[in-house]
Amino acid sequence: MRLEGKKAIVTGGNRGIGKAIAHRLADEGADVAVCASRSLESAEAVAEEIRAKGREAVAVKGDVSNTEAVNALVRTVLDSFPTVDILVNNAGINKDGLIMRMKEEDWDAVLDVNLKGAFLCTKAVSRTMMKARAGRIINLSSVVGLMGNAGQANYSASKAGLLGLTKSLAKELAGRGITVNAVCPGFIPTDMTEAMPEQAKEALIDLIPLGRLGSTNDIAGAVAFLASDDAAYITGQALVVDGGMVM
């Protein structure tokens, strides 16, 4: 129960990695605001699962790429929780395609959600954390932000941008007792990756020294660590959780 009494926001917490993170933070003792951009029903389902564990949970809907929506989202959370101790910027989308065929709107959409969304959520929450002189901010980047990937120029750029944002914010907020770190997942099967052909998945496994794909729980464990006092002296870092794929 390393997070007993802490209040957390998890964007994109209604599915995939975000859902696993929301559950892990609750398992560690935190109360959780489960945020979704489109489906309040799915966020409420996760919140109900968390309440069944004896923790407080609130479901909130809001487009993280929109300033007014983010500010409203945080106000709604603060109506339920007295403060926000942990912010997990997990919300993300992908619109893959080769650069010659990539539509400008697909570039903009991915950067707006994945990168601008983290900026807006952090800005909205930072005032509360600064007053408390404490906080944990964890940004979900990706190994493709470190190595790039053909057909994912927009996604890779957004995830690389998160690493720069993480380091800059870590320097800005350290004086107020707030740590800012990133987690870089490797290949984690989720509903975003299910369309990948089985042959492509097998080829990926050949690149992973541990010989298996990761799980959402692998990522959730890393986030819980960075959110805890065990990571109190860690800031501005990117924790790569990829089975050794990128070294």
The candidate with the shortest Cα–Cα distance to 79, out of 23, 33, 136, is 33
Q: Is 155 an active-site residue?
A: yes
Helix (H, G, I), strand (E, B) or coil at 178: strand
Residue of 107, 155, 187, 225 marked catalytic? 155
Q: What is the CA radius of gyration of the chain?
A: 17
Element holding 33 (H helix, E strand): strand 31-36
Q: How far apart are CA 45 and CA 59, in angstroms?
A: 8
How would you list the strands of the sheet with 57-61, edge to edge? 57-61, 31-36, 7-11, 86-89, 135-140, 178-185, 238-241
Hey, which residues are catalytic here? 155
